[in-house]
Structure 1
Amino acid sequence: MSNESVLLVYPPSQWGYIDRFCQPLGALTLGSILKEAGIKVNVIDLSGEGWSPQQLFNHMNEENYTHVGATILTPFRDIGYGILKAAKKINPNVVTLAGGPHVSFFKEKVLTEYPELDVAVSGEADLDIVDIIQNPTKKFYDLGCVEDIDSLPIPDRSHVRQIEYNELAGIYMDDSASMKWIRGCPWRKCRFCSRNELTLKHRRRSPEKIIEEIAIIQHELKYKNILVVDDSLALNTKFAKTILKLKIKEGLDIPFWALARVDQIDEEAFQLMKRANCSGLQVGIESVVPRVIDLYKKAPGDPKEWLPKVDRALELADKYDIIMIGSFIVGGPTETAKEIQTTIDYLRTSKVDIVQPFAFQYVIGSEFWHEAIDSGQLKPDDIYAYNDKKYGTSPYTAKEIFDKVLEAEDLVNSPVLNPGRYVRLVKKFIKQKKWRVIWKNILQLPKIIQGLLLEHPYDIVIEDELND
């Protein structure tokens, strides 16, 4: 056993806020690698734990770590760096490390912005983390990607086993282990997404390794559900279908959810998902207007084919009792109120079971963000800026756009304003025989109803444009 004692922290979006959607798989994988190297390591997911700053401070003070590392996410970077600053306050000799998307974008610049930071790592650190801890040779590491991701150990979930990850778009999923079948988005062309610039190339794990991990999750760790959190998983591929067939063959009946592309699912995939005990999918619909889909570069081919593909996927999901969560964007560049209304009207009457509307943001590293910077509409320090007419990028204010998001969420998801959607959702849970999940979701209804703003109008419109 080495003399190092390492703490890896996944920061929250805000202190005390609990988000139990996904396990921090990157940090947990690094935890496995360090443990195998004989290095004492602890991983804390502050989003899942809901700790206060004082609780973390007390913990670091008691444990006397030699190294403290934090994942730095751009919207919450001050929290991440604040953790490292606190570690230095406790022990000036502690080695502080930072990785994550923010470091990968800003590179060594982060070292000048945050004097408490000793080592910054851009890229995937899996193959280098032991040397970085034991024999650091520089302050900034610009790493590439791990080509053979099958060579990596599975994440050490013992660090977070006490946390029940169970929430997805307002739905209770049951006690879930997060998984990745791939690394890197296979599409990487959506103009609103930063993965075009920050995500390394697309790589796949072998189906056999994935099945091995599923067996451990079900039989050894005793989780009740799996959430596959890959970027844009294509379920109509031989790769995905092989995994589903092996899961069925091996009798691994643990339920699972997945994040997938809505335009790359065929009927055979739905048949296999049903047999493999898939509960539901989260898919990015974004819009049903061809001009907007073309603007976003959301899909290959003719943008007029997007809506028929969405319709087909929703019909098949309904046929095979797979729950569908659809996300969409409100207020994109040049998107009109009529185009927003078209998407809202579609979602209100479609077979999407739950919708997730998001206000458009100029996300750092995205093509839209770079264009806005180059044109002078945004400043370089406008990172994660909501679209707003003050930037000259929209005729609407960010508040107007955000109000539309809230209205859309209420109108489509409300069990009061849209009861048929909840009836269909419950029917799917019943057909899946998810009795515990049904009961847990029923218990959520009073909370959902209490939060509804029933005075919202039924039409998501901006009056000035319609009057024109």
Structure 2
Amino acid sequence: MKTHVTLVNPPYPSGSHQHPPFTPLGLGYLAAVLEKAQYKVDVIDCQALGLNYEGFRSEIAKHKPDIVGITSTTLTYKSGLQIARIAKEVHPKCLTAMGGSHVSFWDQEALQECPQLDVIVRKEGENTMLELAERMETGKGYYDVLGTTCRKNGQIVKNADRPYIEDLDALPFPAHHLWPLERLRKHGTVIFPLVQAAAAFTGATSALRCECSADAIA
């Protein structure tokens, strides 16, 4: 049976500054790559839907995912961990995976902090998530998947980095159709006032590789 993947954009922490919602391109590309391979994919964007933790609990209960993939930034790192905990409570047999720039360099610490988190997907996640879905489909272990940090027999294992995608044109367009686009119309009065807007991705890195950028240590 084809693997069912639910991708999650966690809520902002209570009291934090909240940007107007956009389709998170990282999840959009993951969803598109998985759909292209004929996997069932759905999305729970807590920010776009205005869901808190209990709202997410109710929503994830409507799904039956084999993999719950969670994105996060530094701002949403803690809420991402809480999403993993809730996903495991509702679906104990699901594989919980977390990606994003923060956990790419905080992988072992994240696994230590959250026992309900199974896998960290480091750096580019498209091919890594695709391989995780393939492993789940065939029943093979996922402990040696490139670009991941995971647990095996109680020990944290950091696998080798996955090579970067060379041909970006081979990637499908983000799966915008999986998002509630009608909820993404409200934007600030300074940036994109009164119009519906979407982010675009034109390159995988910066040519300058500034020291303040994640590119410098990627």
TM-score normalised by L of structure 1: 0.39
* Structure whose residues are more often helix by fraction: 1
Alignment check: 8 A CA contact 2:13 2:75 kept: no
**Kept in 1: contact 2:6–2:68 (CA 8 A):** yes
Tell me, what secondary structure is at the counterpart of 2:120? Answer: strand
Q: Which has the larger radius of gyration?
A: 1
The question of whether the paired residues in 2 share the 8 Å contact of 1:5 and 1:66 is answered with yes
- What letter matches 1:143 in structure 2? R
SS at match of 2:115: coil
The separation in 2 between residues aligned to 1:143 and 1:173, in whole angstroms, is 41
Whichever residue aligns with residue 137 of structure 1, its letter is: Y
Where does residue 121 of structure 1 map in the other structure? 121
Partner of 1:105: 105
Structure 1 residues not aligned, in runs of 5+:
201-468
User: How much does 1:63 deviate?
Assistant: 1.3
Q: 1:145 to 1:173 in 2, by over 3 A?
A: farther
1:36 corresponds to 2:56: no
Q: Following TM superposition, by how much is the alpha carbon of 1:149 offset from its aligned partner in structure 2, in angstroms?
A: 0.7
Number of the residue aligned with 1:81:
81
User: Which amino acid letter does the alignment assign opposite residue 13 of structure 1?
Assistant: Y
In the alignment, the residues of structure 2 paired with residue 55 and residue 22 of structure 1 have an alpha-carbon distance, to the nearest angstrom, of: 20
Structure-2 residue corresponding to 1:49: 49
Distance in 1 between residues matched to 2:44 and 2:194, nearest whole Å: 22
Counterpart of 2:4 in structure 1: which amino acid?
Answer: S
Quick one: structure 1 residues 87 and 29, their matched pair in 2 at CA, closer, same or farther if it must change by over 3 Å? same
8 A contact 2:121–2:128 mirrored in 1: no
Displacement after TM superposition at 1:165 (Å): 4.2
| Partner residue in 2 for 1:4 | 3
Map 1:18-33 → 2, pairs under 5 A:
19-33=19-33
Residue 37 of structure 1 and its aligned partner are, at CA, apart by 1.3
1-side partners of 2:165 and 2:45: how far apart? 24
Shift of 1:29: 0.8
Question: What is the identity, as a one-letter code, of the residue corresponding to 2:171?
Answer: L
Structure 2 distance, partners of 1:121, 1:127, is 10
Contact 2:32 2:172 in 1 (8 A): yes
Q: Runs of 4 or more off by more than 4 Å in structure 1?
A: 15-18
Q: How do residues 36-435 of structure 1 correspond to structure 2 at under 5 angstroms?
A: 36-135=36-135, 136-138=141-143, 139=150, 140-141=158-159, 142-160=161-179, 161-167=181-187, 170-171=190-191, 172-189=193-210, 191=211, 193-198=212-217, 200=218
Distance 1:92 1:16, change over 3 A: farther
Provide closer, same or farther for how the CA distance between residues 63 and 159 of structure 1 changes in structure 2, counting only shifts above 3 A: same
Q: Secondary structure at the match of 1:179?
A: coil
Could you tell me whether the CA contact under 8 Å between 1:96 and 1:117 is conserved in 2?
Answer: yes
Could you tell me how far 1:176 is from its partner in structure 2?
1.3
SS at match of 2:58: helix
Tell me if structure 1 keeps the 8 A contact 2:21–2:47: no
Q: Residue 19 of structure 1: CA displacement? A: 3.4
User: Which fold has the larger relative contact order, with Cα–Cα distance below 8 Å and residues 6 or more apart in sequence?
Assistant: 2
SS of the counterpart of 2:76? helix
Seen in structure 2, the aligned counterparts of structure 1 residues 144 and 173 have a Cα distance that, compared at 3 Å, is: farther
Output the CA distance in 1 between the equivalents of 2:109 and 2:54. 29
- Pairwise CA RMSD: 2.3
> Over residues 358-398 of structure 1, what are the superposed CA-to-partner deviations in whole Å (9 max), with x where a residue is unaligned?
xxxxxxxxxxxxxxxxxxxxxxxxxxxxxxxxxxxxxxxxx
The TM-score, its normalising length taken from structure 2, stands at 0.80
Structure 2, unmatched stretches of 5+, are: 136-140, 144-149, 151-157
What is the SS of the residue equivalent to 1:70?
strand
